[in-house]
Amino acid sequence: MSQTPDDGMTTVDLRTRIDEIDMRIHEALMERANAETAIREAGGDAETTLSYRPDRDADSVRQMLERHRGSLPITTVEQIWRDIICACTLQGTETVVYLDGGAELIDMLDLARFYFGFSTELDPCSDASDVVDAVGLSAGNAIGLVALNDRADLPWWRGLSETGAHVRTRLPFVMLDERPADLPALVLSRADNLVDNTDVTVYDARWSDVLPGKLMDQGIEVLSFFRSGNGVDALLAISGELTEEDALAACTAAGARPDVLRRVGGYAAPIDGETDGDDEFGGEEPQE
C-alpha cells in the first residue's frame, strides 16, 4: 500500500478517517438542526419567530473566517456555512426570497442560491419597488434581494419603513476579488422595529435642488441615487455609531443638508477577505 509522506498513514487508513469525519459532520448537522428547532419552538420573543437573523449570521461567518486555515477557498467554506445556516434556520418555515427583476436574472439567482441555498423559494418581481412592497406586505418571513446600482431607475427606497420592509444586510458580505456571487445588493426583511446596534445605518435622504457638497469627506457613502426635475433622492450609508442628529449634522457640514433624512435600516459591515500568502484567512497552519 502507498504511504503518505507526512504521518505514515496508508491510503486505506486515510479513507477510513475521512468516513469517520463525514459521520461526525453529519451528526453535528443533525444536532444543529435540532437545536434550531428547539429555539423556534421555545419562542419567547419576536426575534425567535423570524427565520432571517442577519446579525447572528454575520457573527457566525466572522467567527468561521477567523478560525479558517488551510487551502480550502474561503468562498467554498462560506457557501457551505451559509447552506448550513439557512437549511437549519429555515426548516419548517415558508420563507420566500423576492428578487429584483430590474437586474440580470442569472446574477440574482446566483446571489440568492449562494446566500439562501437551494431549498428556499425564489419569486422574481418586476423591479426593486415591487420587492419592497412584497416584503412589506408579507407576514414577516419574507426576504427581498435588491441589486445595488449607483444610479437607480426609481427611488425605490422611499417605500422602506420602520414597520415594513427595511435594509438588513449588504452583499457581498465577504469582499474578495473575482469571487462568485459578487453582485452588489441589499437584503430586505421586516421586523417589529429597526435594529439599533448595526455597524452601518442606512438613510433615505431627499433634496429639493441639485445635491451639493462632498458627502464622502464626512464619511457618508451614497449607496444609490435618483435625480429628477424635483431634486435628488439618495440612499445613504453612515456609521452606526452616529445618531440621526449626528448624521444630519454631517450632511450639513458637507454642504448637503437634506429636506428629508429618514432611517430605513442598517447592516453589519462587510469583511475584507483578501489574503496575502500566510494571512489571517486561508493561510497555512502556524508553525510551532
Distance CA 168, CA 190 (A): 8
Q: Angle 74-89/54-67 helices, nearest 10 degrees?
A: 140
Note the pLDDT tens digit of each residue in 143-158: 999 999 999 999 999 9
Q: What is the pLDDT of residue 193?
A: 67
Task: Report whether pLDDT(65) > 60.
Answer: yes
Name, of 21-30, 47-56, 62-71, the range with top average pLDDT. Answer: 21-30
Task: Tell me: pLDDT of 278 over 50.
Answer: no
- Of 97 and 5, which is predicted with more confidence? 97
No. of helices (H) and no. of strands (E), the chain: 6, 11
- Look at the block and give the residue holding cell 453535528: 28
- Length in residues, the chain: 288
Q: According to DSSP H, which parts of 5-161 are helical? A: 11-42, 54-67, 74-89, 105-116, 128-136
Taking the CA atoms of the chain, what radius of gyration do you get in angstroms?
Answer: 22
DSSP 8-state class, residue 145: E
- Residue 60 clears pLDDT 70, i.e. is over it: yes
Mean pLDDT of the 29-45 span: 79
- Bridge partners (DSSP) listed for residue 231: 228
| pTM summary value | 0.85
pLDDT of residue 9: 86
How far apart CA 205 and CA 131 sit, in angstroms, is 20
Q: Could you report the per-residue pLDDT of 83-137, keeping only the tens digit for each?
A: 888 878 776 677 899 999 999 999 999 999 999 888 888 999 999 999 999 999 9
Which among 214, 260, 255 is positioned nearest to 234, based on CA atoms? 260
- Supply the DSSP symbol for 97: E
Q: What is the mean pLDDT of residues 41-54?
A: 62
| pLDDT score recorded for residue 283 | 41
Cell of 8: 505514515
